[in-house]
Amino acid sequence: MGRAIILLFLGAMAGCAFGPVQPPSKPLAPSFPSNALVTQRGILKARGREFPLNGYVTTSETGGLRLVLANDFGGVLVEALVDANGKTSVVSAKAPFRKTWVEHYVMEDLKCVFGIGSSTNCQARRVGTNHFLIERRWYQLDLRTVQIKSGGAP
């Protein structure tokens, strides 16, 4: 009887350590201008490691997006497109990113942050004016917008 009470207590304490699970939400309200180049920096945490990333997103007047994701040395890791309806197209994906991973996670996170489509699996939340936090089961992305230039990409 005493062991059962101790196990029940430990089980309750372990459940409290992680807090409640947030249900998925809808995309964030659009806060980026059309026809602009948005520069973002992020720290991707996955499998106990941290990876610094630079993202360059071009927004169009028609509501589409173009993403170029680069490492600190300027090497392009991902290039992808999103149309105004939320349909995605991965142009290229290099290690450590797999094309299917980019399609299912990177593009969903991009659409969520930029308020495109009708995804109900938005895991991003706005922490500050130019600061987003994306938390999924396998990774966490701390994303900050550092510059917005009107007129699109050069």
- Residue-wise pLDDT for 18-68, tens only, equals 333 444 455 566 578 889 999 999 999 998 999 999 999 999 988 899 999
Least trusted range by pLDDT, from 54-58, 86-90, 92-96, 115-119 = 115-119
Burial classification of residue 1, based on how many CB atoms lie within 10 Å of its CB (0-12 exposed, 13-18 middle, 19 or more buried): exposed
d(CA 83, CA 64): 4
Domain residue ranges of the chain, discontinuous segments joined by +: 22-150
**Token pair listed for 53:** 């990333």
Contact (CB, 8 A) for 152 and 60: yes
Question: Which residues lie below 8 Å from residue 93, measured CB to CB, with a gap of 6+?
Answer: 77, 78, 80, 99, 101, 102
User: In this structure, what token pair is assigned to residue 147?
Assistant: 């510059």
Confidence class of residue 110 from pLDDT cuts 50, 70 and 90? very high
